[in-house]
């Protein structure tokens, strides 16, 4: 059942995002629908604001007026979310919500995908994807926060640093 759950975007009145999130979560708990509506998320970003009195760090909504809901779309789940006070509808055409694509979910950083890295700095690796596919190189730096790795590749007799995604390389045994 959870495999068919997708991320949908509910449009809300601006300022009602937290209330909508709490109301959906409470309704899911009361109706025992945790398997159908799995997660409700309000994308936030941490911003440092500099004012006359100094700087302060605040959490700010990335998309004011929108709440992300990971759910299996049925008539029941659609009605539950749609009838929450503060929700004006789903993002989509007419009454049919359109789920977010994998790329959109990844770019929003809503779901953290854990990639197990089978290599470390100094290891020889092979590039498995992209323009430099099948090139060999040496790992110079691993940045788990950004899911990036810097590999030194020898091209045209020169050592060239290349930044790749963690899953674009594999270690050479």
- The residue ranges of every structural domain in the chain are 2-108, 124-171
Any idea which fold 2-108 has? Alpha-Beta Plaits (3.30.70)
Burial code (b: 16+ CB inside 10 Å, e: under 16) for 142-163 equals: beeeebebbbebeeeeeeeebe
Unique residue bearing structure tokens 């994807």: 129
Coil, strand or helix at 171: strand
Q: Domain 124-171 is in which class?
A: mainly beta
Predicted model pTM: 0.62
pLDDT tens readout for residues 74-131: 999 999 999 999 999 999 887 789 998 888 887 776 665 556 677 888 999 999 888 8
Average pLDDT, the chain: 86
């Amino acid at each position: 059942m959870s495999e068919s759950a997708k991320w949908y975007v509910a449009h809300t009145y601006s300022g009602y995002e937290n209330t909508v999130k709490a109301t959906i979560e409470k309704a899911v708990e009361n109706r025992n629908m945790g398997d159908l509506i799995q997660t409700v998320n309000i994308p936030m970003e941490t911003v440092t604001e500099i004012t006359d009195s100094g700087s302060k760090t605040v959490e700010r909504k990335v998309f004011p007026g929108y709440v992300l809901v990971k759910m299996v779309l049925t008539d029941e789940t659609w009605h539950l979310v749609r009838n929450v006070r503060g929700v004006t509808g789903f993002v989509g055409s007419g009454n049919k919500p359109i789920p977010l694509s994998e790329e959109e979910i990844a770019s929003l950083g809503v779901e953290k995908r854990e990639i197990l890295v089978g290599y470390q700095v100094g290891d020889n690796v092979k590039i498995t994807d992209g323009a430099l596919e099948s090139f060999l190189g040496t790992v110079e730096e691993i940045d788990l926060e950004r899911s990036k790795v810097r590999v030194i590749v020898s091209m045209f007799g020169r050592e060239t640093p290349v930044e790749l995604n963690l899953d674009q390389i594999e270690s050479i045994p």
